[in-house]
Structure 1
Amino acid sequence: MSDSTTRLAVGDPAPAFTLPDQNGNPVSLSDYAGRRVIVYFYPAAMTPGCTKQACDFRDNLADLGSSGLDVVGISPDKPEKLAKFAQADGLTFPLLSDPDKKVLAQWGAFGEKKLYGKTVTGVIRSTFVVGADGRIEVAQYNVRATGHVAKLRRDLGV
Structure 2
Amino acid sequence: FRGPRPVISSAAGFVAHGATIEIKASNASDIQRVVLARPAAVTHQTDSEQRIIPLSFRATSADTIEAQAPGGVGQNALAPSGYYMLFILNRDGVPSVSKWIFVGKKTDSPNLQAIQSSTPGKDDFKLVDIKGAKRSLNEFLGRPHVVILIKGAFCKACMAQLSDLQKRLEFSKVPVVVITPVDDLSALSDLPFSVFADPDHSVFRKWGAFTTEPIHSTVVFNERGDVLLKDVGEKPFMDFATIEAVLNGKPAIVRQE
Whether TM-score is above 0.5 comes out as yes
Q: Which runs of 5+ in 2 are unaligned?
A: 1-112, 250-257
C-alpha displacement of 1:157: 4.6
Find the structure with the greater CA-based Rg: 2
SS across alignment from 2:172: helix
SS across alignment from 2:205: helix
Instruction: Work out the CA distance in 1 between the residues paired with 2:172 and 2:114.
Output: 24
Correspondence list, 1:1-158, <5 A: 9-11=114-116, 12=119, 14-16=121-123, 17-61=125-169, 63-66=170-173, 69-78=174-183, 80=184, 82-86=185-189, 90-111=190-211, 121-142=212-233, 144-145=235-236, 147-157=238-248
SS across alignment from 1:39: strand
Contact preservation (8 Å) 1:43, 1:76: yes
SS across alignment from 1:58: helix
C-alpha displacement of 1:18: 4.1
Task: Kindly provide the CA deviation profile for residues 72-105 of structure 1, in whole angstroms up to 9, marking residues without a partner as x.
Answer: 0111111x3x22222xxx3021111111111210
Quick one: percent identity of the two aligned structures? 29
Contact preservation (8 Å) 2:228, 2:247: no
C-alpha displacement of 1:143: 6.4
Q: TM-score, normalised by structure 2?
A: 0.46
Task: Kindly provide the CA deviation profile for residues 42-92 of structure 1, in whole angstroms up to 9, marking residues without a partner as x.
Answer: 11223211111122233335x2433xx2110111111x3x22222xxx302
Contact preservation (8 Å) 1:21, 1:95: yes
Q: TM-score, normalised by structure 1?
A: 0.71
C-alpha displacement of 1:9: 4.1
Task: Kindly provide the CA deviation profile for residues 125-156 of structure 1, in whole angstroms up to 9, marking residues without a partner as x.
Answer: 11111221122221111163373435433554
Instruction: Work out the CA distance in 1 between the residues paired with 2:235 and 2:244.
Output: 14
Runs of 4+ in 1 over 6 A off after TM superposition: none
Q: Counterpart in 2 of 1:3?
A: none
Give the residue type in structure 2 aligned to 1:84. A
- Counting matched residue pairs gives 134
Contact preservation (8 Å) 1:58, 1:93: no
More helix by share: 1
Structure-2 change in CA distance of 1:53 and 1:23 (3 Å): farther
Contact preservation (8 Å) 1:109, 1:125: yes
Structure-2 change in CA distance of 1:32 and 1:129 (3 Å): same
Instruction: Work out the CA distance in 1 between the residues paired with 2:209 and 2:115.
Output: 15
Over aligned residues, Cα RMSD in angstroms? 2.6
Q: Which runs of 5+ in 1 are unaligned?
A: 1-7, 112-120
Structure-2 change in CA distance of 1:134 and 1:146 (3 Å): closer
Give the residue type in structure 2 aligned to 1:93. F
Give the residue type in structure 2 aligned to 1:138. L
Give the residue type in structure 1 aligned to 2:223. A
